[in-house]
Amino acid sequence: MEGLITVIILLVIILMVLASCVKIVPQAQAFVVERLGGYQGTWSVGLHFKVPFIDRVARRVILKEQVVDFAPQPVITKDNVTMRIDTVVFFQITDPKLFAYGVENPIMAIENLTATTLRNIIGDLELDETLTSRETINTRMRASLDIATDPWGIKINRVELKNIIPPAAIQDAMEKQMKAERERREAILIAEGEKKSTILVAEGKKESAILDAEAEKQAAILRAEAQKEKMIREAEGQAEAILRVQQATADGIRMVKEAGADQSVLALKSLEAFERAADGQATKIIIPSDLQGLAGLATAFKEVIK
């Protein structure tokens, strides 16, 4: 019985040892394997077996991109302004072997390297350049860190300045400067608005004067044209009246001629004319001294109508 228990125990131990020798590497990870203390190889994704008591998984390495947020570091600018800057580093492990054996503490190494690189870059810049050159600082830091961490099997993808914290006195001065700048811009905008308003008012008055003059000109032209039309109509009326009078006279002469008037009719018509003249407003009437003169007048009238 005791022998059976011993066999069972041995089988359980063997199964546990065999199970420990089977390793499954998950996605986006890699295992660094050592054999008798020396580097054996790097296991990628999948099922792997190791030799019991000889091989061991020395390190599990994550191959995904990782983010490290470092605490603010004190730096001094070129114009001797001390400020605090915290950085965010995005990195990815490209070689698990170099990562495992390249440096003792990779994260601490990256933090210290970031701080020294940041101090070197900020030391060449003044305060205003530091505040306005974030993209330049990020690019220079990424290039420097990528070169320095390459022997460690680490690739630096991005470096970002998270916060730039100047001293309190500098912040107060900057706030006063920004306030003065805003007030200056406000004054400029008000002056520009008043200038534009004055210009618009002047242009409006100018346009109004031009329109008034144009309207007066058009009114004068219309009055002249109306006067001209009136004069033309009056002249046409007078011409028409004269034409009608002449036409009536011609018609009367023609009718007398067609009627074959003799000397006595002409004399009678002459007397009727004198009679009508006598009915008028004239105070004096001159008549021939004898009828012979009257007959001569009739003869002359007859000669006219021939």
Q: How far apart are CA 58 and CA 56, in angstroms?
A: 6
Residue 194 has pLDDT above 60, yes or no: yes
Strand partners, 87: 161
pLDDT in the model for residue 288 = 52
Instruction: Give per-residue pLDDT as tens, 134-151.
Output: 899 999 999 999 999 999
Mean pLDDT of 302-306: 47
Is pTM beyond 0.85? Reply is: no
- Are the C-beta atoms of residues 103 and 150 closer than 8 Å to each other? no
Q: How far apart are CA 81 and CA 131, in angstroms?
A: 12
Task: Give the residue among 81, 184, 164 at the shortest CA–CA distance from 176.
Answer: 184
pLDDT in the model for residue 246 = 78
Instruction: Give per-residue pLDDT as tens, 254-272.
Output: 776 666 655 555 555 555 5
Q: Is 69 helix (H, G, I), strand (E, B) or coil?
A: strand
Strand partners, 46: 25
- Are the C-beta atoms of residues 109 and 155 closer than 8 Å to each other? no
Q: pLDDT grade, residue 167 (50/70/90)?
A: confident
Show the beta-strand stretches assigned E in 111-180. Answer: 154-165
Sign of torsion, CA 267 268 274 277? negative
Instruction: Give per-residue pLDDT as tens, 37-76.
Output: 889 999 999 888 888 888 888 999 999 999 999 989 899 9
- Looking at domain 66-166, its CATH class is alpha beta
Strand partners, 159: 89
> Picking from 170-179, 208-217, 232-241, which range would have the lowest pLDDT averaged per residue?
170-179
Instruction: Give per-residue pLDDT as tens, 121-138.
Output: 999 888 888 888 889 999
Residue 284 has pLDDT above 60, yes or no: no
**Burial, 149: exposed, middle or buried (Cβ in 10 Å; 0-12, 13-18, 19+)?**
buried
pLDDT in the model for residue 111 = 92
Mean pLDDT of 227-246: 83
